[in-house]
Homo-oligomer: A and B are copies of this chain.
Amino acid sequence: MAGMVTAIVMVQAERQRVQETAEALAGVPSVREVYSVTGEWDIVAILKLARYEDLDDVVTGHLRKVEGIARTQTMLAFRTYNEALLDQGFGVGLDEGQQR
């Protein structure tokens, strides 16, 4: 998924609605992977956005409308470290599509 912007959204869901919430998240545009996870958070969703600007649509237009979500915390990637490119000496600010 070269040239995409990645966001990692950690979700705490209402106890009885974790599965339903995760399934709803899996249907949101730009959401590529959704997992039930061990630890303090219930669900992690991995977003692949064409442009940073799309995060707003996904969050405001979709994520906030998914029922069963109690709390979220979004981590936005601003630098990607890709082994292949690193081997070739490319310092990549973003994905290789936007290599410096």
- A38 surroundings in chain B (CB, below 8 A): 7, 38-39, 55, 74-76, 78
- A69 surroundings in chain B (CB, below 8 A): 15
Chain A residues with a Cβ under 8 A of chain B: 5-8, 15-16, 18-19, 22-23, 25-27, 31, 33-41, 44, 46, 51-53, 55-57, 59-60, 64-65, 69-70, 73-83, 86, 93-94, 98
Residue pair A83, B27 in contact (C-beta under 8 Å): yes
Residue pair A57, B93 in contact (C-beta under 8 Å): yes
Q: How far is the CA of A56 from the CA of B79 in the complex (A)?
A: 6
Q: How far is the CA of A33 from the CA of B98 in the complex (A)?
A: 16
Residue pair B26, A81 in contact (C-beta under 8 Å): yes
Known contacts A5-B52, A22-B79, A52-B78; 12 further A-B pairs (Cβ under 8 A): A26-B86, A27-B86, A35-B78, A37-B77, A38-B39, A38-B76, A39-B39, A44-B77, A52-B52, A53-B78, A57-B93, A76-B76
